[in-house]
Amino acid sequence: MAHAILIVDDDIAIKESVEEFLALMTYDVKSAENAFQAVNMLKTFQPDIVLTDIMMQGMDGLELTRLIREQYAIDVMVMTGYSAEYSYEEAINAGASDFIFKPFRFEELDLRIKRMLREAAFKKERDKLLEEMKQLAITDGLTNLFNSRQFFHQIKQEVERFQRYSRNLSLLILDLDFFKKYNDTWGHLEGDKVLMRIGMIISSCLRRMDSAYRYGGEEFAVLLPETELREACLVGNRIRENVQKAVFTPENGVQTSVTVSLGAAQIVQGEDFTSFIKRADKALYLSKENGRNRLTVAP
C-alpha cells in the first residue's frame, strides 16, 4: 500500500511540481494551498507525512505543524527558502520531524521522506513491543487475567477514587475447593487446564468496567467499581454456578467437575485497601468453613 503525503504550499508552481514528482515515486499525494485547507482535508485524509511550507498567508507552517502534532500525531517536514528568518531549531521545537531548504533536489526530498517513513515504522514497532512488554508485566500467563501485582496497583487506585468521590466499590475473592486433591489425583498439567478454564468463566461473567485477577495459586479476585454489594453477589453467584456446571476430562472416560468458594465485600467509609481485602478474605474463609461451594458476605 502506497504511503500518503499531504503537500501544503501557497506557491502553486512549487506545489504542483513536488506533487507531480512524488506521484511518480508512487506516493499517494494530495495538496492544499494553505494551512486552513490542509486542516480541513485532515478530517478525511490521513497522510503518513505532511510536507508544508513555512511562509504562508494566515496560519504559517510552524503553527500548522504544532496543530498537526497535537491533534493528529502525524510526522511533518517543513520547507522554506527563508533560511535567515527560520531556523532548524524553531521547526523542531514546533514539532517538525525534518526541515529542508528551498530550492532542493527532488532526490534529496525523496531520501528524507524515506528516512522519515523508516523512523516512523521503527517507532511503531517499538511502541508495539513496549505495549506487549507492559501487558506481560501485568498479566498472568496461564489464565490471561491480570496478575497479583496489578491487583494491588488497581485496588489502591479504586480505593482512592472511592475516598474522593464516594463511588460504590465491591470485591470478590474466589478460591477453588479441594484443588490440591485435584492436582494430586490428576497432575499439575490437568490442574492448569482447570485454572485456565476458570479464568475464562470469570471473564465471561464480568461487565466492561469490572476486572479479574489471579490473586494466588488457585485464588482469584474480582474488582467491581460502581457496584453495590447486592449486585456483586449476583456476579459472584453467576461465576460459582458456571464453574460448577463446567465439565473436565482429566483422562479418557473420566469426567469431573470443580467448585469455588467466594467472599464478597463492599468498601465502607474510612477503610483502606488492606482492611477491605481482609474482610473479603474473612468472608471466603467462612464459605470454606461452612461447607464450600457458596458465597459469604463480609460483615
Catalytic residues: 218
Q: How many CB atoms lie within 10 A of CB 171?
A: 29
Interior CA angle at 275 toward 274 and 280, to 5°? 100
Strand 169-176 relative to strand 254-256: parallel, antiparallel, unpaired? unpaired
The C-alpha cell at 65 is 505543524
Contacts of 211 (CB under 8 A, 6+ apart): 146, 154, 222, 223
Sheet with 49-53, edge to edge strand ranges: 28-32, 4-8, 49-53, 75-80, 98-101
User: How far, in Å, CA of 290 to CA of 141, rounded?
Assistant: 33
The C-alpha cell at 95 is 514539532
The C-alpha cell at 240 is 460459582
CA distances, 114 to each of 17, 47, 81 (Å): 19, 14, 22
Instruction: For residue 80, count CB atoms less than 10 angstroms from its CB and return exposed for 0-12, middle for 13-18, buried for 19 or more.
Output: buried
Interior CA angle at 202 toward 200 and 208, to 5°? 100
